[in-house]
Amino acid sequence: MADTTSHLFQPLTVRGLEIPNRIVVAPMCQYSAAEGVAQDWHFQHYGSLAASGPGMVVVEATAVAPEGRITPGDIGLYSDAGVAAFSRLVRTLKAIGKSRIAVQIGHAGRKGSAQRPWQGGGALRAEDGGWETISASAVPFAAGWPVPHEIGPYDIDRLRHAFAAAAERADRAGVDIVEVHSAHGYLLHQFLSPLSNRRTDVYGGSLENRMRFPLAVIRSVRRALPNDKPLGIRISATDWVEGGFTPEEAITYLAVCKSEGVDYVCVSSGGLVADAKIPSTPGYQVELAARIRRETGMLTRAVGLITEPEQAEAVVASGQADMVALGRAFLDDPRWAWRAAVALGAPIPYPPQYERVQPELWPGGKTRQSVAAAE
């Protein structure tokens, strides 16, 4: 029990690993790697977030194969240089504070070979460095996007091994937790959704068939990790489109994931098609997380427009989710965990190097704590 009544600041144990609090930095692509290799940007970005004391920092979508990158700027765990830089990044983050370090491993499928968002975010042309993409079926992401190659038996096997190899490399690099990216319209989601999976073989059609490849990946990743290493998954619990993947299907999928050794789920939504109508209001995915938690009994993480400490506290305190992940709120305020600690009356998770910010060590300093106390 932490020294506070705040639910957000209670530790959580996942497969024997203690996570110091329930605040998670959501995975956020930085599109700033070179040939899959993390650069200086990543060290300052993740370093500053780890210094702010969240329970978990999830390193962005990290490709298991070169063609699985979303953009040319994605990190990858498929080359020696990529693995070396990633290992150094994990070592750096673990030396900074107590945050548990996770990595999200994934494959972009038909959403790969894209421009960085600030270059337009559309499909990259071959002359600009684009590459051929693959997917469950030869159905493009949106108008103007290339038609992906339908994955054959060779690729099914290759990709299963690529996911397992990436998980093993991440483990050797020292990450505490591995998360499989099964959300946002990337490859595993492309198999799950009937809108992108039109296959007529054992990998398409019924939900059982559409789950077959993602579950094969999950099993391979679980086997590649030591027994005591937590494994998470991120899913899009709905496509927000008629005829798409549904919360009921997500629950069936997650129940099998759980029985295969997945320890928690991060509940997101959308991303499969470009024109879905997503109701982006505060906490708009929390109800989906709560339902999944109720119906699967899995440890659950809520995400999406959670920005206020009291809002995050309420999600955990009410049992809607076991953790909350924040993305943009952490970009806006990398010390969000300190802000939450002040608001919720929990001890601020300072790294020792920053302890002199405390009011008793900085009399007269206008700190978050002293300003809050004076109000």
Ligand X SMILES: Cc1cc2nc3c(=O)[nH]c(=O)nc-3n(C[C@H](O)[C@H](O)[C@H](O)COP(=O)(O)O)c2cc1C
The catalytic residues are 186
Cβ of residue 217: shortest distance to ligand X, in angstroms?
16
Q: Which stretch binds ligand X (CB under 6 A): 133-141, 187-195, 246-254, 301-309?
A: 301-309
Near ligand X by CB under 6 A: residue from 82, 304, 334, 349: 304
In the complex with ligand X, the residue whose CB is nearer, 208 or 310, is: 310
DSSP assignment letter at 100: E
**278 near ligand X, rule: CB under 6 A:** no
In the complex with ligand X, the residue whose CB is nearer, 193 or 370, is: 193
Near ligand X by CB under 6 A: residue from 51, 77, 237, 326: 326
Q: Which of 60, 152, 71 is nearest to 114 (CA)?
A: 71
CB contact set of 353 (below 8 Å; sequence gap of 6+): none
**269 near ligand X, rule: CB under 6 A:** no
Site string for ligand X, 108-147 (x = CB under 6 A): ----------------------------------------
Strands 134-135, 100-106: pairing is: unpaired
Burial of residue 345 (CB within 10 Å: 0-12, 13-18, 19+) is exposed
Near ligand X by CB under 6 A: residue from 45, 100, 184, 293: 184
Beta bridge partners of 63: 76, 106
Q: How many helices (H) and strands (E) does the chain have?
A: 12, 13
**61 near ligand X, rule: CB under 6 A:** yes
Near ligand X by CB under 6 A: residue from 8, 19, 27, 87: 27
What is the Cα–Cα distance from 311 to 340, expressed in whole angstroms? Answer: 10
**49 near ligand X, rule: CB under 6 A:** no
In the complex with ligand X, the residue whose CB is nearer, 181 or 291, is: 181
Q: State the Cα angle at 116 between 111 and 121, rounded to 5°.
A: 60
Total residues found in the chain within this entry = 375
What is the Cα–Cα distance from 352 to 61, expressed in whole angstroms? Answer: 30
CB count in 10 Å sphere of residue 161: 15
Cβ of residue 60: shortest distance to ligand X, in angstroms?
4
**328 near ligand X, rule: CB under 6 A:** yes
What is the Cα–Cα distance from 115 to 263, expressed in whole angstroms? Answer: 34
Q: Which stretch binds ligand X (CB under 6 A): 14-22, 125-133, 137-145, 324-332?
A: 324-332
**234 near ligand X, rule: CB under 6 A:** yes
Cβ of residue 11: shortest distance to ligand X, in angstroms?
22
Handedness of CA 341, 346, 352, 356 (dihedral sign): positive
In the complex with ligand X, the residue whose CB is nearer, 124 or 183, is: 183
Positions that interact with ligand X (CB under 6 A): 26-29, 60-61, 104, 181, 183-184, 234, 268, 303-306, 326-329
